Structure 1
Amino acid sequence: MTRLSHGAFVLVADSEKALFLENTVDGDDPFLQVRRKDEQDNPPDREQSANRPGRFNDGPSVHRSAVDDTDWHQLAKERFAKDLADKLYEMARRGDYEKLVLVAAPEVLGELRKSLHKEVSDRVIGEISKNLTGHEITKIEELVKDALRHG
């Protein structure tokens, strides 16, 4: 059974928001305090795209094919996960935390895993693949405690 020790960090993230929480008491009854809050302004793709999807000729014939435009909204989500991984690395190098629990929406958790530096991934003691950014901190405490107990 893994416990959320005093000083352990919990990252709660989705593709646009992140809470960096620290356990300020023991692992039996965690009490998470917000240490940092990050948000990304990521408007819908239609507001970020500059023009219509492109088209190209299919050779000597008169046929033309459409080319998908870049999904700027999706790229911003992936970039946010990469930025979070970079912040976690900076914090680990400064010694801000020794243990880390990642709580993120499934697609964000996948992007985070790909981007984590070894120094950060070595500190991960648990993962919860759920979007909890809209939940009360007391609910997050319960879910993290249960997941580590049964994980």
Structure 2
Amino acid sequence: MKIPHKAHVALVDGERFLFLRNDGQIFDPKLSKVEEPDLEATNFSAGVKHQDQGGQISGSTDLNELAHAAAAAEWLNAKALANAFDELVVVADPKTLGEMRRHYHKELEKRLVGEVDKALTHEPLEKIGEVLANA
């Protein structure tokens, strides 16, 4: 995957959110941490579609994780509207990415240059760069 020079990367899961920047080249990303926002998960309606009894019993639905995904998307929306970045790649596990997509603002969608559905928040930055380069 092409990660443009100075493009930002949002690395998200149900608990953690890292905002990174590619200081390397398009096919050889060198990621650096810009910020790790402390999000307040307030949108618990985000997981309404996941509140089936089966999901609750099996524990496969965690409303806190889905609310965190919604909060991450809202944070990215605010940054996009403030012109804080031009290009963005979102990397998140499939459930988080699906929830985030439901909350993307049109301005954020214009700035998206890619999405990767992988859980990488606990990997070192070098490994994340390799995965993105090979995606």
After TM superposition, is the score higher than 0.5?
A: yes
Superposed CA offset, 1:28-86 (max 9, x none): 321111111135699xxxxxxxxxxxxxxxxxxxxxxxxx89x8x82221211111111
Instruction: Report the equivalent of 1:6.
Output: 5
Does 2:132 match 1:133?
A: no
Structure 1 residues 34 and 5: alpha-carbon distance in aligned structure 2, compared to 1, 3 A threshold: same
Instruction: Report the equivalent of 2:86.
Output: 98
- How far is 1:143 from its partner? 0.8
Give the aligned length: 119
Instruction: Report the equivalent of 2:134.
Output: 146
Give the TM-score taking structure 2 as reference length: 0.78
User: Can you give the 5+ residue segments of structure 2 that lack an aligned partner in the other structure?
Assistant: 42-55
* Greater percentage in strand: 1
Give RMSD over aligned pairs. 2.4
Q: Which has the larger radius of gyration?
A: 1
Does 2:67 match 1:79?
A: yes
Structure 1 residues 41 and 94: alpha-carbon distance in aligned structure 2, compared to 1, 3 A threshold: closer
Instruction: Find runs of 4+ consecutive structure 1 residues off by over 4 angstroms.
Output: 39-42
SS at 1:19 equivalent = strand
Structure 1 residues 86 and 41: alpha-carbon distance in aligned structure 2, compared to 1, 3 A threshold: closer
Superposition pairs for residues 43-62 of structure 1, below 5 Å? none
User: Can you give the 5+ residue segments of structure 1 that lack an aligned partner in the other structure?
Assistant: 43-67
Q: Distance between the aligned counterparts of 1:138 and 1:99, measured in 2?
A: 20
Q: Does structure 1 retain, via aligned residues, the 8 Å contact 2:19–2:34?
A: yes
Q: Does structure 2 retain, via aligned residues, the 8 Å contact 1:16–1:39?
A: no
Instruction: Report the equivalent of 1:89.
Output: 77
Identity over aligned pairs, percent: 33
Instruction: Report the equivalent of 1:111.
Output: 99
